[in-house]
Amino acid sequence: MNYGKKFVVKPGSKVRLGKIDPSHTGKHTSPLTAAADTAKQVERMDRLQYLMYAGASRSMLIILQGLDAAGKDGVVRHLFTGMNPQGIKEFAFKEPTHEELAHDFLWRVHRCTPGKGEVAIFNRSHYEDVLVVRVHKLVPRSVWSRRYDAINAFETMLIENGTHILKFYLHISQDEQLTRFRLRLEDPARRWKISESDYTERELWPKYIEAYEDAIALTSTKKAPWYVIPSNHKWFRNLAISQIVVAAMDEMRLEVPPPRVDLAAIWQKYHAAKRAADGSRSAH
């Protein structure tokens, strides 16, 4: 199954999240049948990231969005912690600081985009400025409605600088969200995640869905597409995202870069150092 083709939002298409089954698992019926496939994708992802870091000519930006408890942290933990820390970074964008609010809405995000050879993961992102800002009416419609074009222009600039962008909306149902809230309450190790806003924001579910539908439809472009990932089943979510990321990295045709030095000269230095070391040992 090509999950990229199945879950991508084609540019210009309407998005109706209510018509997409968040419990979809394709041919897989249990975590056991998907585990081996996911492990292969994660291993492949690690090798490709090594090539990206070594080549230092391309980069990748992965954006994770979703309602509370959709699984953004889980995706980072299960799929990307195997990558070399030197070449990957993750940012969780919370409520803007006073300094960030003193600048344009993209300022705090632009500073975190990946450099050449890097993978950056945005756990929430600049899309919050057309989501929570819109739902809570933090700025007038005349302000947030112009931000879609600004986002598209921003992402186009990143693409032209060699950054490949993948955007994932983690799609869960209201019932699944409530179940995950209960599991947090029952698990002492995860109670720190609980907040009153989980429930107050839940009351705004229809408004958030409408805001997401508009954001995804207006900013899913050919080179920076959105993928709506069924995420009621965490194991399927991980499989689908890992396959899409690996396919995108494969398309980059990443290769081991050529040596940046004169190998013949380096070999000469090696042999000279080896002779000196051997001579030192024999003298003792």
What confidence tens digit (pLDDT) does each residue in 7-31 have?
999 999 999 999 999 999 988 888 9
Q: Residue 193 has what pLDDT?
A: 85
Q: Residue 284 has what pLDDT?
A: 64
Domain harbouring 77, CATH code: 3.40.50.300
pTM for the whole thing? 0.93
Using CB atoms within 10 A of its CB, is residue 249 exposed (0-12), middle (13-18) or buried (19+)?
buried
How many Cβ atoms are within 10 Å of 245's Cβ, its own excluded? 25
Q: How many structural domains does the chain have?
A: 1
User: Facing residues of 88 across strands?
Assistant: 119
pLDDT in tens, 192-219: 888 888 889 999 999 999 999 999 999 9
**Residue ranges making up the domain that contains 195:** 3-283
Output the six-digit token pair for 133.
Answer: 């800002």
- Contacts of 37-42 with CB under 8 Å at 24 or more apart are 37/239, 37/243, 38/235, 38/238, 38/239, 38/242, 41/239, 41/242, 41/243, 41/245, 41/246, 42/79, 42/82, 42/242
Of 269, 126, 121, 154, the residue nearest 221 (C-alpha): 154
Ranges under pLDDT 70 in the chain: 283-284
